[in-house]
Structure 1
Amino acid sequence: MKNYILTGEVKKNLPNATFLVFSKELNKKILCYISGKMRINYIRIMPGDVVKVEVNKISPNKGRIIYRLK
């Protein structure tokens, strides 16, 4: 099963390293968590950052942040 990779903007920080990301491509908010490599390397994500999000086809309202764009 293939996943979608979207870009979005972080709108809000939530507890337990979860974030609310708005995707213009889907035109909706996605609840995202940070991938393991980003946790290991202490990559900080703040509201307003543009990120790449991996979203499953079955549940497009949950995802995983895989990359922070500059």
Structure 2
Amino acid sequence: MTGATAPANGCGFDLKQKWVLVASKDGAIEIEGSVAEALPNAMFRVELTNGHKILAHISGKMRKNYIRILPGDRVIVELSPYDLTRGRIIYRYK
């Protein structure tokens, strides 16, 4: 990550300006993706930058602050190392 600054959420850029995986302290994996489909019960189908599609829900802070997620939005998803097919949307790009 030389030559680039990391945002406050801990994700960073490599020299080619592509997102890299960042493992946080609790073992969760954060990766960028785009919302492909909105599903019932505040669930979303998210296509990750590596081509995989996962099922994700909105984090509590985003729900509390009424941040709306629409299909096509670029988001950061936090994945558990135990189940890589489900995640939590923790950030929506403006």
| Same-fold status (TM-score > 0.5) | yes
Structure having the higher Rg: 2
Cα distance in 2 for partners of 1:14, 1:32 equals 10
Shift of 1:58: 1.4
CA RMSD of aligned residues (A): 0.9
How do residues 1-70 of structure 1 correspond to structure 2 at under 5 angstroms? 1-25=26-50, 27-70=51-94
Q: Which has the higher contact order (CA 8 A, sep 6+)?
A: 1
Cα distance in 1 for partners of 2:54, 2:79 equals 9
Instruction: Normalising by structure 2, report the TM-score.
Output: 0.71
Structure with more strand by fraction: 1
Q: Which runs of 4+ in 1 moved over 3 A?
A: none
**Structure 1: 5+ residue runs without aligned partners?**
none
Cα distance in 2 for partners of 1:13, 1:56 equals 21
**Structure 2: 5+ residue runs without aligned partners?**
1-25
- Between the two proteins, the alignment pairs up a number of residues equal to 69
Cα distance in 2 for partners of 1:24, 1:40 equals 27
